[in-house]
Chain A
Amino acid sequence: MNASKVIRDVKKNANGWFWISLMGAAVILLPIFSILASLFKPTNENWAHIQEFLLKDYALQTVWLLLGTGIATLIVGTGLAWLVSAYDFIGKRFFRFAFILPLAIPPYIAAYTYSTMFDYTGVVQKTLRDWFGYTLPPDLIDIRSLPGAILIFTLFLFPYVYMITRSFLERQSGAYIENARLLGRSPAAIFFRVVLPMARPAIIGGVSLVLFEAVSDYGVTSYFGVHTITTAIFQTWFGLYDADSAVRLAAFLMAGIVGAFLIERLLRARRRYSASTSKSRPLVQKRLRGLGHAAALLICGLVVAVSFLIPVLQLIAWAWLTYQDVLTAQFIELTFNTLRVALLATAIILVISTTAANVNRVQRNRFTMILTKLLTAGYSIPGAILAIGVLTLFLWLDQQVIAQFGTGQLVLSMTLIMLIVAYVVRFMATGFQAIEAGFEKIGHHYMEASRMLGHGLTKTFFKVDLPLIKGALLTGTVLTFVEIVKELPLALLLRPFNFETLATKTYQYANDEMIQEAAVPALFIIAVSLLAVAVIHRVGERTER
């Protein structure tokens, strides 16, 4: 390639979109690189111990956790998405919406709730004891275990897979599925041979969000005594007092995960999954009857009960015991704080991820692909480690300010900007995956047609792409907003003075094993998230018509 060609290609691609996503990338990548940089620092004497005792066993448990959670959410998420988009049955409209609700419950709250419900003083054993005189063998139900953790993650994270897959199935090419039906394939065969492969990009997007969340979780795993790489990271930091090695371990984790997804992308780049056809139309739904109908109702009812109703009712019961001590006027401020940071960060995330996803789609080269994958890397590392990266960046910026103006005061790192940037870095993935799936769904041809009719990239985006990806955009907004409302470690470490959110308030009690007291702020979190889900669901319903 000669120089003039290089200049030509740079000129061709370097438009406003490109610069905005590059700027967004810089903000996001600096903290991530500051963590990755630790891979190149010399190791200290703790490293040998970590390798000998922490890595092997913990890596293995991490693999089991991810495998179990991945497969289970895949089955539950795609199964339910298929059920509500291909069939019609009583209460379908309700279930279609209700399957999103578990997202409103932070997994660590669910973990505390379920394990307390099932332990000796919990409602299950108490009822059996007091009403039936039956004492459960203590080892029969052991929620605090690896399978328990998989169960919790599945119940409360499957909506990621469900939402993205459903929105794909409901709009994409009913033709393919109807074809398969006409060819006389059984529903199972259609599901496995047609639906799963076709929805692969959507499913991978959803499952990867779940896996990111599970691998970087500390709340559930440490409480359940499951040893993952992330618990090893915190043991290194809090037990060996070695923050450097902890960051290093996190860097390995992140590099591994980003690597895995890059490989997946490169493998996928060879095939085209987005049926580029503009003739996609919604699937005609089959009315369920008889036994099938009953089975569908039973499954849907069960899922909604265990993933939403039961834990919420239990939390309400606990809150009833404690609200007089816990609930104060301060909750208005807490709710307002939570909303403010969540809305702001969500807006920024959506602008950057839409821009970056569009650039990646238009330019389709390795550089933009790797760049966009790195943009989403923040989701794969534990929040507390990411917090160090963001803190390092902001303190460095502050040092520059101090050197310039000699104020001797920290400016940026004492403001909410630091926390908001951290949220953006961490949750870029949720916005980005949803939007990328939306772009994949509409394919390239509409954009190309628009450009052939004389509209530039920006006009094309607003006139053609935006109306067509509206659904995906809404999905991305809910997912991101709810994630931020639930988020804990970043809020804990990076907030400015006297700034509390609903999540930090919940932590204050839950950390101290006071689940009954924690129920009050936890219910506030759930209420705020539910409101977001419901509002956006209504808007979504309207625009779909």
Chain B
Amino acid sequence: MKNRLLSTALIAVLSAGLLAGCSSGETNQQSGSEPAKTESKELNIYTARNYAVDKKLYENFTKETGIKVNVIEGKAEELIERIKREGQNSPADLFITVDGGVLNNAKVNGILQPVTSATVDQNVPKELRDKDNQWIGLSSRARVIVYSKDRVKPEQLSTYEDLATDKWKGKVLVRSSTSLYNQSLLASLVELNGEQKAEEWAKGIATNLGRAPEGGDRDQAKAIAAGQGDVAIMNTYYFGQMLNSKDAEEVKVAKQLGVFFPNQSTTGTHINVSGAGLVKFSKNKDNAVKMIEFLTGTESQALVSKENFEFPANPKAETPELLKSWGTFKAQQIDFAKLGEHNKKSLEIMNKVGWK
């Protein structure tokens, strides 16, 4: 008898738990996908940007408009796959991520639709938007050369291409080919210099490495300090973070390093763009467009730049001292769609030349 009681209790607890799980899910669901009404007060975002500053922006948006923002965070490709599989029932309204190649991939996968808004067109220059306006740039980071102030003079530096020459043998540091940033950089070189030149470049970099690729962007800067190389390819964003780290030792390392924007007299410095795409089957399209307008406004843009050390997409936005101190620079002028198209090729090249 006792046993029957026990098992009944167990089942009761289990089903109660399950119900709790369901019901909490349902509240989310209700808030998740209101039917497409003009007065809808909701907006569903799938984002691969996990920054505190983004959350602050969403809160500001809700304060300003009264529209509730629901968020699922994840990795970009996983979110694309999820939206794709959810199809026309997808609750997603906006897809936000870092990297033009990925944004283009979302477009190619047919999960986006064009944004029509005069405000957005005004806020964001044409080169930071998809040519069909299926995604809108929000901010960008430059992939620059960071060098040891002790061992390298800025005059010795010139271009990405130069890093692949013999003079940097054993001195170059870069993370592994699994990094999207490297794939995008190589993709841009494929577009600018052609496949063969790009492959030679990748091969040069792979042979010039001071050590096998490992770690993240910050780790390359630290490796310069440790003397494993003299120059590193890394994002301005991470460098800015290091300068503002809570760990005094990281700040000390960052201060020994200089930032150099390569290819200024040739093709321009490679940039990575973050952007927002309007999801094809969005049920809250008006709110989504409103959000893009809000995010590209000068106020939001200045906030992102200040807290996240990213370059604002809206040229009228205020930038922080640190970014100003790096001066203005010339960015690569290429269609971001090409980055997506060449991404596969660039990965193949890196595998082929042994860039681990």
A and B touch in the complex (CB under 8 A): yes
Q: Which of B197-205, B249-257, B294-302, B319-327 lies at the binding interface?
A: B249-257
Find out whether the CB atom of B78 lies under 8 angstroms from the CB atom of A493: yes
Interface of chain A residues 76 through 91 with chain B (CB within 8 A): none
- Distance (Å) between the CB of A323 and the closest chain B CB? 10
Are B226 and A138 neighbours in the complex by a CB distance under 8 Å? yes
Chain A residues within an 8 Å CB radius of B343: 239-241
Interface-facing stretch out of A273-281, A356-364, A510-518, A525-533: A510-518
Select one of B29, B82, B238, B249 contacting A391, CB under 8 A: B82
- For the complex, what is the distance from the CA of A504 to the CA of B73, rounded to whole Å? 9
B268 interfacial contact with A, CB 8 Å = no
B3 nearest CB neighbor, chain A only: A462
Asked if A53 is at the interface of the complex by the 8 Å CB criterion, the answer is yes
Contact with B along A215-241 (1 / 0, CB 8 A): 000000011110100010011011111
Shortest Cβ distance from residue A289 to the other chain B in the assembled complex, whole angstroms: 46
B249 CB contact (under 8 Å) in A126, A384, A415, A493: A126
CB proximity to A under 8 Å, residues B209-257: 211-219, 222-223, 225-228, 238, 241, 245-247, 249-250, 252-253
The reply on B18 being an interface residue by CB < 8 A is yes
Q: Which residues does chain B contribute within 8 Å of A499, judged by CB atoms?
A: 28
Binary CB contact string for chain B from 249 to 292 against chain A (1 if under 8 A, 0 otherwise):
11011000000000000000000000000000000000000000
Whether the pair B71, A497 counts as a contact (CB closer than 8 A) is: yes
- Bound complex: CA A517 to CA B86 (Å): 34
Q: Which residues of A contact B216 (CB under 8 A)?
A: 223, 513
**A347 engages B17 (CB within 8 Å):** yes
Selected contact of A497 from candidates B72, B85, B246, CB within 8 Å: B72
- Any chain B CB within 8 A of the CB of A166? no
Q: Is A343 an interface residue (CB 8 A)?
A: yes
B215–A495 CB distance below 8 A: no
Q: Is A43 an interface residue (CB 8 A)?
A: no
Known: A243-B77, A513-B217. A493 touches B82 (CB 8 A): yes
A120 CA to B90 CA in the complex, in Å?
47
| Given A408-B89, A504-B73: A238 and B24 interface contact (C-beta under 8 Å) | no
A-B contact count, CB below 8 Å?
204
Q: Are A508 and B25 in contact (CB under 8 A)?
A: no
Q: Which B residues touch A241, using CB under 8 A?
A: 77, 105, 340, 343-344
> B127 at interface (Cβ–Cβ under 8 A)?
no
**CA of A398 to CA of B35, assembled, Å:** 17
CB of A541 closer than 8 Å to a CB of B: no
CA distance A339 to B110 in the complex (A): 38
A-B contact pairs, 10 of them (CB 8 A): A115-B219, A119-B223, A120-B222, A239-B180, A243-B81, A318-B247, A347-B13, A347-B17, A388-B81, A513-B217
The answer on a CB contact under 8 Å between B28 and A402 is no
Chain A CB within 8 A of B6 CB: yes
Complex Cα–Cα for A102 and B310 (A): 38
Pick the contact of B344: A234, A239, A411 (CB < 8 A).
Answer: A239
- By DSSP majority rule, is chain A's interface helix, strand, loop, or mixed? helix
Complex CA distance for A343 and B211, rounded to whole angstroms:
45
- Within the complex, which residue of A223, A414, A492 is in contact with B33, where a contact is CB–CB below 8 Å? A414
Say whether B29 contacts A411, CB under 8 Å: yes
8 closest Cβ contacts across the A-B interface?
Answer: A415-B25, A53-B351, A120-B226, A225-B214, A497-B70, A144-B214, A321-B246, A121-B249
Check B75 for interface membership: any CB of A closer than 8 A: yes
CB of B332 within 8 Å of the partner chain = no
Are A498 and B28 also in contact (CB < 8 A) when A409-B33, A409-B89, A415-B22 are? Answer: yes
Q: Quick one: given A225-B212, A231-B178, A408-B35, are A463 and B3 in contact (CB under 8 Å)?
A: yes
* Residue contact B78 to A492, C-beta cutoff 8 Å: yes
Chain A residues with CB under 8 A of B340: 241
Interface residues of A in 470-498 (CB under 8 A from B): 492-493, 495-498
User: Is B207 close to A, CB under 8 A?
Assistant: no
Contact indicator B228/A138 (Cβ below 8 Å): yes
Band of interface residues on B: 35 or more
One digit per residue, 1 when the CB lies within 8 angstroms of any chain B CB and 0 when it does not, for chain A 376-395 equals 00000000100110011001
Q: State how many residues of chain A have any CB contact under 8 Å with chain B.
A: 79
Name A's B-contacting residues (CB within 8 A): 46, 49, 53-54, 115, 119-122, 125-126, 135, 138-139, 144-145, 222-225, 227, 231, 234-235, 237-241, 243, 318, 321-322, 340-341, 343-344, 347-348, 351, 384, 387-388, 391-392, 395, 398-399, 402, 408-411, 413-417, 420, 459, 462-463, 492-493, 495-500, 504, 507-508, 511-514, 516-517
**Residue in A54, A392, A514 with the greatest tally of chain B CB atoms within 10 Å:** A514
* CB of B62 within 8 Å of the partner chain: no
CA distance A231 to B183 in the complex (A): 15
Q: Is the CB of A410 within 8 A of B214?
A: no
The answer to whether B18 touches A344 (Cβ under 8 A) is yes
The answer to whether A119 and B344 have CB atoms under 8 Å apart is: no
Cβ 8 A contact of A348, one of B14, B87, B241: B14
How far, in angstroms, from A231 to B245 measured CA to CA in the complex? Answer: 30
Q: How many angstroms from the CA of A498 to the CA of B58 in the assembled complex? A: 12
Tell whether, in the assembled complex, residue B215 and residue A115 are in contact, meaning their CB atoms are under 8 Å apart: yes
Task: Assess the B347–A239 pair: CB atoms within 8 A.
Answer: yes
| B160 CB to nearest A CB, Å | 20
* Cα distance, A174 to B6, chains bound together (Å): 34
Cβ-defined contact, B32 with A496, below 8 A: yes
Other A-B contacts than A120-B222, A243-B77, 15 sampled, CB-CB below 8 A, are A120-B226, A222-B178, A238-B180, A239-B344, A240-B347, A398-B89, A408-B35, A413-B86, A414-B28, A414-B33, A415-B25, A416-B22, A492-B78, A497-B31, A513-B217
